[in-house]
Structure 1
């Protein structure tokens, strides 16, 4: 009874402890258990928690850049970070507010870009940041403000026996098309992977474990949290109405594939054709072509089994264009890709007289005139359709030149002498027809017998 009394008097939560041990639910639970057994030590634990929070916040308040604090590795890695050749991400760790209260976090998340390691994924409250924290040193390694995220994609990972999803965070100037302003550090996308199933360690900011209910998979939980915290964009997933590959997923029988394999130079990757643009991933650097940045698309090296896709992109802040070539795409997916390009009004440069820049605002509501223009654009022919039409036109011309009365014994390759013989035969036939017509008007007997015919009595005839 005494233990029950002490336990019932324990506080439900203490702000200092919540902030200090938000990323360590196990340790936080042990602290609360200790306070429940010895409530007189609660002030001591709160002081320890405040001191811990101050240690976590120290990198953000220090004038020394986090590069000097994080890396214990070789000097070459420090030089890369200092020169900007290998950027951590859009924001330095000190800019993502390491002391901000958490709204969501998930432990043991496998990140692929910009670093390949397991980290704790965190989303903070208030101004809002998405960041990754080292699970050993407890330091924030990279992150981005939620307000600077332009696109979020959740895509199935191709060619895996077990179904997985890649979340791709495309921040401003991190799409591989729009360069950052001059003097600004390079920006990279963020990519992490979650399995298709309940998360192992996902928690709300208050420490409540998520994913315990039916149907609460890791990808759906992360998607819901991101949608709740993003106002300028939402999570985009592949849609069969946009594009689906003609070839099913080879490693998971019966499952549809939403990607096509392609090469950019010698680098192999996957193209995803989505409702907001085209992504090439998942290796560094990722490239995302938003519709408003696509200047034109053309097909080149169209062979029996493969073809190349050329995307000319135009950054928002300049008129200069850059061409990206993706090669060795399977011919089986040509029809689906061509339909996708026409559906979104993307210019097919292989048919255009000149590459004309046309920017599409995908967020505006289309007017009736816009819908008419889109309908006219859909009727434009693809390269293969044009070749097929020209072939049919040639066949129609041959049929018009063909004369059924010219006989069926010739092979169609006769010489001019044959034509002359045909003309002579036609003249003979015309002469014969004329003679038959005139015989009806002449006395044939008189012409044959001459004067003898005059001596024959009429009645004997």
Structure 2
């Protein structure tokens, strides 16, 4: 009985032990079991936990001096940071509270950015961090405070036989449009992939497996957890009321596609037109145009099958703009893109003076009369007008190719000479008429008309 009384008085949670063994739940349980059997050793275990925490802090600070950079290839490179600078892709491991208790974690998650490897996705219970932990070394590789996340997107991965979803975490100053303050490194976006199906290794902070009994898919589990922990934004997914491609998903028959294939320079990627902005992914660097940063959108290089989309973006609080061109977009999607741009009131800069000289006369300036006449009817978009003018021009070119100015003369060998004779006859006749008119000025017209009858009329006869 005495032993039971001692056990009942043993503490159920000791902060120092919770912090020291947060990443090792099995070891933490053994420590608490030992304290339960020998409560007199509780101060000793607490001192050991505090010393362990101090060692972890030292390891984190020293590891912050060297950062592992991973390229797309298999080679691993390391560089030494100067003056203790933090890595550009995320907060340093020391700032990510590696010893904090967890609220959620998912194992074997395939990350694409800022590193391409399988890691454990974690959300801390305190101080709010989203981070990725190495599954072998147990070290935190990268992460971002939840309060600094501006946009979270869940997008279907294009051109995959099996349905998958990419979660894109875009932190402050990590959208590719808004530069960070001077002296601050721009953080990289985080991208990881989950399969369409029940999660296999998703757990709450207490170790309870998620998504097994309620039928939630892995993407819905992650979305719910993120929405529960984010106050300034929520997870955004594609919506066919915003945009859906005219071409269905080629690799999954019958499934709608929400992306448009495009090139930025030589990099091929996908444009997603969402309810909060436009994303170009999934190659580095990721670019997200929030509506408040879009200054204007225009169409250039409009051809029969493709066109280019130019986005002029303005960083928040700045007058400077930068232009992003996305090329080789299929003409089949121009109608949906144009409807999306008009729906959100994005300024169309096709009428700008600098674009008037573009090929195919895309940007004609409307007169006041044209604007009045078009008021009663639905305004024709600049891209639709460009396509119509292009088709008219092609028809004219075909007519010119069909017309042969020498076809009439080919049927008759004397055709050209007879035409010349006719022209000479006409010219000669005109000259004769002119001569007669000049002579007629000196003649008596009355005498010519009446002849001798004019002489027989008495002068007094009225």
Regarding TM over 0.5, the answer is yes
Q: How far apart are residue 90 of structure 1 and its match? A: 3.7
2:7–2:39 Cα contact (<8 Å) kept: no
Cα distance in 1 for partners of 2:84, 2:301 equals: 37
Count the aligned residue pairs. Answer: 367
Tell me, which stretches of 5 or more residues in structure 2 are unaligned? 356-374, 393-421, 423-462
1:339-378 superposed matches below 5 A: 339-352=339-352
CA 1:248–1:7: 2 relative to 1, 3 Å: farther
**2:141 aligned partner:** 141
Q: Report the CA distance between 1:351 and its aligned residue.
A: 3.8
Query: Could you list the per-position Cα deviations for residues 325-366 of structure 1 after superposition, in whole angstroms to 9, with x for gaps in the alignment?
Result: 1111111111111110010001122245579xxxxxxxxxxx
Decide which moves more: 277-286 or 39-48.
39-48
Q: Which residue is equivalent to 1:107? A: 107
Equivalent residue for 1:254? 254
Deviations 1:284-317 (A, max 9, x none): 1000000011111111111121111111111113
Deviation per CA, 1:403-459: give whole Å up to 9, x if none: xxxxxxxxxxxxxx9xxxxxxxxxxxxxxxxxxxxxxxxxxxxxxxxxxxxxxxxxx
Residue in structure 2 matched with residue 307 of structure 1 by the alignment? 307
**1:169 paired to 2:169:** yes
How has the CA–CA distance of structure 1 residues 388 and 29 changed in structure 2, closer, same or farther, with 3 Å as cutoff? same
The verdict on how the C-alpha distance between 1:137 and 1:47 changes in structure 2, with shifts beyond 3 A counting, is farther
Q: Tell me if the contact between 1:9 and 1:36 (Cα under 8 Å) persists in the aligned partners.
A: no
Instruction: Measure, in 1, the Cα distance between the counterparts of 2:126 and 2:66.
Output: 28
The corresponding residue for 1:67 is 65
Q: Deviations over 1:100-143 (max 9, x none)?
A: 22222222211111111111211123331111122222222211
Contact 2:280–2:287 (CA under 8 A) maintained in structure 1: yes
- Counterpart Cα distance in 1 of 2:225 and 2:333: 34
Distance 1:38 1:173, change over 3 A: same
1:354–1:133: structure 2 CA closer, same or farther, 3 Å change rule?
same
Give SS of 1:326's match: strand
Greater Cα shift, 67-76 or 243-252: 67-76
For the 8 Å contact 1:295–1:312, the answer to whether it is kept is yes
SS at match of 1:307: strand
Aligned partners of 2:65 and 2:84 also within 8 Å: no
Question: What does residue 193 of structure 2 align with?
Answer: 193
Contact kept? 1:35, 1:41, Cα under 8 Å: no
Matched, 1:385 2:392: no
**Alignment CA distance shift 1:99-1:258 (3 Å):** same
Output aligned runs, 1:35-114, within 5 Å.
35=34, 43=42, 49-59=49-59, 62=61, 64=62, 66-68=64-66, 77-79=78-80, 81-82=81-82, 87-114=87-114
Aligned to 1:215: 215
Kindly indicate whether residue 118 of structure 2 is the aligned counterpart of residue 118 of structure 1. Answer: yes
Q: CA deviation at 1:13?
A: 6.2
RMSD of the TM alignment (CA)? Answer: 3.8
Within the alignment, does 1:263 sit opposite 2:263 as a pair?
A: yes
Whether contact under 8 Å (2:86, 2:92) holds in the other structure is no
Displacement of 1:237 after TM fit? 0.6
Distance in 1 between residues matched to 2:254 and 2:380, nearest whole Å: 33
The equivalent residue for 2:157 is 157
Task: Render the CA deviation track for 1:370-402: whole Å, top value 9, x for unaligned.
Answer: xxxxxx9x9553124335788999xxxxxxxxx
Q: Deviations over 1:141-167 (max 9, x none)?
A: 211111111111111111111111111
The answer as to 2:326 corresponding to 1:333 is no
Whether 1:131 and 2:119 are equivalent positions in the alignment is: no
TM-score by length of 1: 0.69
Q: Distance in 1 between matches of 2:41 and 2:79?
A: 42
Q: Which runs of 5+ in 1 are unaligned?
A: 356-375, 394-416, 418-461
Higher alpha-carbon deviation: 268-277 or 200-209: 200-209
Please state whether the residue corresponding to 1:231 is helix, strand or coil.
coil
Per-residue CA deviations over 1:78-104 (Å, capped at 9, x if unaligned) read: 14x549999442422222222222222
- Alpha-carbon distance in structure 1 between the residues aligned to 2:107 and 2:53: 19
With over 3 angstroms needed to count, the CA separation of the structure-2 counterparts of 1:138 and 1:341, relative to structure 1, is: same
Q: How far is 1:72 from its partner?
A: 12
Please give the per-residue CA displacement for 1:263-300, whole angstroms capped at 9, x wherever unaligned: 11111111000000000001110000000111111111
SS at match of 1:77: strand
Mapped to 2, the partners of 1:36 and 1:252 lie a distance apart of: 57
**1:320 Cα offset (Å):** 1.2
What is the distance in 2 between the residues matched to 1:196 and 1:345? 34
